[in-house]
Amino acid sequence: MPADPISRLAAALGSSVGAEVTLERPGEAEYGDYATNVALQLAGSRRRPPRELAAEIADAAAGLEAVERAEVAGPGFVNFFLRDEWFAAALGEILAAGDGYGSGVAEPRERVQVEMVSANPTGPILVSHARNGAYGDSVARLLELAGHEVAREYYYNDSGLQMERFRASVDAVRKGEPVPEDGYHGDYVRDLAAVDGDPVPAMLESMERTLERFRIHFDSWALQSVVEERLPELLPRLDTYEKDGALWARSSAYGDEEDRVLLRSGDRSPTYRAADVPYLVDKLDRGFDRAVYVLGADHHGTRNWYAAVARMLGYDPARIEVLLYQPVHLTRGGEQAKMSKRRGDVVFLDEFLDEIGVDAARWYLVNRGPDQAIDIDVDLAAERTQKNPVYYVQYAHARIAGILRNAPDNASDNLSLSSPLAPEERELVKRLAELPSVVADAAAKRGPQVVPAYAIRLADDFHRFYHEHRVLESEQQAFRLGLCRATQTVIARCLDLVGVEAPERM
């Protein structure tokens, strides 16, 4: 038996029709509470006029307890009008589920590793890294809600050329020498130079602080130097060849666009790509069913490399998943933003957070689908006003908290109705009932952007309800209090999925 009221209604209709019925919410009130186009879709294969099929579905639906009436409309839609009792029962179920409402029981339940951000410790976390983290972390939260076990990992290069340059830059400052042209410049290098010891751990600590501030917590940190230790033992298991003095992986034969160099000509040192091999093996050997890589779209050229490595080593490539996202551009009143005086056009996440706040930052960075480039007007995003959807949603939560604070302790929780439901109440219940399908869809398509979009619609429905109806000391106080509690829970859930706080007061 499906867990939520809508899919149960759909299932009941489906069994009476002998086909899967999908319900949608029509845009117009005259088309009922829910509608289905199943008659149109079935008309072809069953060689029947769509309206005739629709009439049969409508007849069958009329026999269901929840359905007040069903109408055939247009070319063959069936519109369902539901009884108030269905709304009360649906709300009751949502309240009974409590904080667990929307959570799933994944089949099969997977152990998933989400590797994200993974910026090398040569400088502070940037806004571009923040999109990686905001997106990856929201996907991780969605997978957890769907019932999977998720671990977040940060991978970084602690050896190699870039790190040498970084250390050399800090050393140069300490000796009072000029920083090499190909080194790292900026105030943070001076700050690191002021303290003795290896600057890399200090840099990492600072980066972790920024990420924690951004509400991203990593379960583990993987070092390339450690990972690389297993490279010699794995190289013989790969499909490789020698060319121009270098060792190449024959990855093009395994679904990659091209072959990749593993050991450089000359000193035969491993490339960054080479370290991917032991790292991938490490991930899968640690018992993860699925390894998710979150990468900027500028890395899409290596998208198929990881799966190719898996194939080469005999692992199921379906266990490897690469998620790509488009870049972030900051503007200030339409102008290309140059927020950081220290490093030209790159923007430090900490400065960005100082300016617009963590809530707005997380919201804006997951508000768009990963395939969409993001333009953020920093001045606009910094405004704590109605222009900013994140506060609109938070305000709905805080408003509810206010009502619940004022509610009597002995308020009844009996949802039975004493008078017909108002349109705003019905709309709100239907919106709440959408949550399970919204989060399931978001998790399945790795598209957390549908969550804030849904949260806005929910806040919209709530604000309208609030404006039209009094909750406390109203004729239907119990039902309306229930509606408030359920709405608050669902808003809090949505905000949590995005990494935004749900305030009790604003």
Partner RNA sequence: GCGCCCGUAGCUCAGUGGACAGAGCGGCGGACUUCUAAUCCGCGGGCCGGAGGUUCGAAUCCUCCCGGGCGCACCA
Question: Rounded distance, CA 38 to CA 24, Å?
Answer: 11
* Nearest-approach distance from CB 311 to RNA, in angstroms: 19
Question: Rounded distance, CA 174 to CA 194, Å?
Answer: 7
8 A C-beta contact, residue 481 and residue 415: no
Indicate the residue among 59 and 177 with the shorter CB distance to RNA. 59
Buried b / exposed e along 361-378 (16+ C-beta atoms within 10 A): bbbbbbbbbbeeebebbb
The answer to whether the Cα torsion of 477, 483, 484, 489 is positive or negative is positive
* 3-state SS, residue 180: coil
Indicate the residue among 401 and 500 with the shorter CB distance to RNA. 401
Indicate the residue among 150 and 304 with the shorter CB distance to RNA. 304
Indicate the residue among 150 and 500 with the shorter CB distance to RNA. 500
* 3-state SS, residue 378: helix
Indicate the residue among 167 and 464 with the shorter CB distance to RNA. 464
Both tokens of 19, joined, read: 């086909």
Peptide bond into 108 cis (omega under 30): yes
Question: Rounded distance, CA 263 to CA 25, Å?
Answer: 57
Indicate the residue among 150 and 362 with the shorter CB distance to RNA. 362
8 A C-beta contact, residue 233 and residue 254: no
* Nearest-approach distance from CB 393 to RNA, in angstroms: 9
* Nearest-approach distance from CB 37 to RNA, in angstroms: 4
8 A C-beta contact, residue 310 and residue 109: no
Both tokens of 463, joined, read: 């604000």
3-state SS of 301-338?
Answer: HHHHHHHHHHHHCCCCHHHEEEEEECCEEEEECCEECC
Indicate the residue among 31 and 184 with the shorter CB distance to RNA. 31
* Nearest-approach distance from CB 313 to RNA, in angstroms: 20
* Nearest-approach distance from CB 417 to RNA, in angstroms: 18
8 A C-beta contact, residue 41 and residue 24: no
* Nearest-approach distance from CB 109 to RNA, in angstroms: 27
Closest C-alpha to 187, from 4, 341, 409, 374: 341
* Nearest-approach distance from CB 268 to RNA, in angstroms: 9
Indicate the residue among 32 and 150 with the shorter CB distance to RNA. 32
Strand boundaries in 337-401, DSSP class E: 374-377
